[in-house]
Chain A
Amino acid sequence: MKRALYVALNEVRLYIRDKGDLAFGMLLPIVTFALMYGAFGGHTLFEATAPIVDEDGGPYAARLVAQLEAVPGIDIDRLTAAQADTRLERSDLQLVLYIPAGFSDALAAGEPAQLVFRQRGNGGQEGQILASIIRGVAGDIDREFRVHRQVAAGLAGAAVPADRIAVTVQELLDRERRQPAVAVAEEVVGGSPDFINQFLPGIVVMYVLFSLTLSARVIVEERKRGTLERLLTTRLSVGGLYFGKFMSSVFRGFIQTFILLGLSYIVFRFFTPVSFLAALVVAFVFAAAAAALGMIIASIARSEDGAAWIGVVFTMTMVMLGGTFFQVAEGSVLDTIGKISIITYGREALGTIIAGSGTLGDTVFQLTVLAGVAVVGLVISRLIFRAVPGGK
């Protein structure tokens, strides 16, 4: 066992020294993650542009626009009335906020003022969210006006200058805004079932399966450089050699998964600490299953090219059948055929933990299948493995 561990460590050392393998195995998942982050990373916050036509141009209109601009994720696009009408007609915009002329004057005079939304249909989903945010900001301004007016009315005749009342009330309102009586906190307890949650599990296990191609080459490479036969003249048993190679393959697959899951944890906040550990357990068992299949290919292949080709064909078949890039309808023919792909079980188990907020207990079936593949694959590969034709 000790010598098998040295074989595994040696294999890992060789892997680290081989820049090509290292780039394929470690950097590619990071690049993929960066692409996923670029595509989906900023979408945890609602982001939109609010088209505004300011026909008033007064101080209260400016204040409304400034407060809208201060809302996280909201950008302001100032348009003229003509521009807004044209773009609304072309359906380039779904909703526009008009601040009519006289808005500031009306407010200054203590009279009701009005904002106008012009929209196509119901304004679309984004338009409705924008309208809701604008109503909220307008409501805040309205409440502050009411406070100002009521305080001014209450102090009427108390010989307090109007500008002093205005400044003091504004200071108090600002303080209240910073320290609201009712605060709302956000706690993320797991991912939502959006696009990335649906496909991340498949992408993660797909990478591990790709490393199967590298695993398939380990025996062939050892044979090619002559060290396989040399090792067989040492105290290392054939079983020890085999198990060492298997362990190094598991390690390689697991590290790849760890990188992808770790980045997801840090950046997308998909996990709680417990669900992250559960995902790592799934990743480890999946890596063992993939490594065992890699060892079967390693036992069959007689050349590096042969190992690579068998590995690629096998991997791509498993990836397609496993529903990595598209959702397979339950009960369909593809769903039935997909049961032969280990990707299916790895994806389901990781998906249960990532998107479904499940526990390891919910993935017992998938983990049992994957562990079974690992054990049976290792036994089969060892039985068909011949280090030397006519020999061990």
Chain B
Amino acid sequence: MAEEFLVVKDLHKSFNEHKAVNGVSFAIEKGEIFGLLGPNGAGKTTTIRMLSTVLEPDSGEVVIGGHSIRQEPEAVRSIIGVCPQELALYEDLSALDNMVFFGRMAGLNGQEARAQAMQHLELMGLVERARGRVSRFSGGMKRRINLAIALMGTPRLLFLDEPTVGIDPQSRNNIYETIRGLRDRGMTILYTTHYMEEADRLCRRVAIMDAGQIITLDTPRQLKSQIGSPDQVTLEDVFLKLTGRSLRD
């Protein structure tokens, strides 16, 4: 059995009377790309914010790389990287300055931060724009920088919260290739997206959340086989069948 790098047990979080996360449990194996899907307001982002130590859970236990997020949040932060759903960049700074700064925050010294920044910028196809001000970048370039920053410090677990929203197919493809490359190097990835095809292509296993709970968890092929032939139905069909067709926003 593969080593479990992230273990979540009975996680709860409420905001006033609203239960945003209600008894979520799952585990991710080392080197796995794990998809967390769900409609808007399902509790995906709240779950990621708790796992990345930004929010404190009301109850439940989370262990990442052997460290409890309650007892050893600093140790957890030293092995995770987070690519948030919204762009989180200093637009008045250059791409390189952004990456070096977050590299320093991840514990790298100046030389290491600079070297890693250039390496990740190359990975994202942005070396030539390293010294360009981020405010002048296209949406796709900003998304790639947003992801590249999450890689600073070489985290062992990467949280990717809808990293491909609103970008062109070329940038999206670049991000897919990057994610696969990271997985091949042993990085564990928790991935959320609204693009079902994307989850089908990238993730070994997928959990579908709704109303703060995980309603199903399996490989994309197994999930598809629950409602028909895996070659004829899509993950989106499964998603809509499980979460319903009513609007959520």
Residues of A within 8 A of B (CB): 3, 6, 10, 13-14, 17-18, 225-227, 229-237, 388-392
Contacts and interface: CB of A to CB of B under 8 A. Distances in A.
A391 B55 contact: yes
Contacts of A10: 90, 93, 101
B93 A234 contact: no
B104 interface: yes
A13 B93 CA distance: 8
Given A226-B88, A388-B54, A390-B15, 12 more contacts: A10-B93, A17-B93, A225-B88, A226-B86, A226-B87, A226-B89, A231-B105, A233-B80, A233-B81, A234-B153, A390-B56, A391-B54
Given A10-B90, A13-B97, A17-B92, A234 B84 contact: no
Contacts, number: 74
Contacts of B107: 235
Interface in B216-232: none
24 contacts: A6-B101, A6-B105, A10-B93, A13-B93, A14-B92, A17-B93, A18-B92, A225-B89, A226-B86, A226-B89, A227-B88, A227-B90, A229-B49, A230-B82, A232-B53, A233-B52, A233-B81, A233-B82, A234-B77, A234-B153, A235-B78, A236-B105, A388-B49, A391-B55
B239 interface: no
B54 A234 contact: no
Contacts of B56: 390-392
Contacts of A388: 49, 54-55
Contacts of B52: 233
A149 B87 CA distance: 94
A225 B90 contact: yes
Q: Pick from B13, B15, B55 the residue with the most CB of A within 10 Å.
A: B55
Contact of B54 (A14, A233, A235, A237): A233
B191 interface: no
Interface residues of B, number: 32
Given A235-B74, A390-B15, A14 B90 contact: yes
Contacts of A232: 53-54
Contacts of A17: 92-93
Interface centre among A17, A227, A234, A237, by most chain B C-beta atoms within 10 angstroms, is A234
Contacts of A225: 88-91
Interface in B40-62: 49, 52-56
Contact of A235 (B77, B86, B87, B90): B77
A233 B77 contact: yes
Nearest to A7: B105
A18 B104 CA distance: 23
Contacts of B86: 226
A392 B52 CA distance: 12
A3 B78 CA distance: 14
Contacts of A233: 52-54, 77, 80-82
Contact of A3 (B13, B93, B104, B149): B104
Closest 5 CB pairs of A and B: A226-B88, A234-B105, A230-B88, A17-B92, A233-B82
B166 to A, nearest CB: 15
Most chain A CB within 10 A, of B53, B84, B89, B104, is at: B104
Nearest to A232: B54
B235 to A, nearest CB: 29
B130 interface: no
A234 B102 contact: yes
B106 to A, nearest CB: 6
A226 B80 CA distance: 18
Nearest to A229: B54
A230 B52 CA distance: 10
Contacts of B93: 10, 13-14, 17
A234 B78 CA distance: 7
Nearest to A18: B92
A390 B74 CA distance: 19
A120 B192 CA distance: 92
A232 B80 CA distance: 11
Interface string B62-74: 0000000000001
Interface string B117-153: 0000000000000000000000000000000010001
A44 B53 CA distance: 63
A232 B153 CA distance: 15
Contacts of B89: 225-227
A6 B106 CA distance: 12
A287 B150 CA distance: 35
A77 to B, nearest CB: 58
B88 A234 contact: no
B103 to A, nearest CB: 10
A234 B82 CA distance: 9
A233 B93 CA distance: 20
Nearest to A5: B104
B144 to A, nearest CB: 16
Nearest to A391: B55
A300 B18 CA distance: 25
A388 B53 CA distance: 11
A235 B53 CA distance: 11
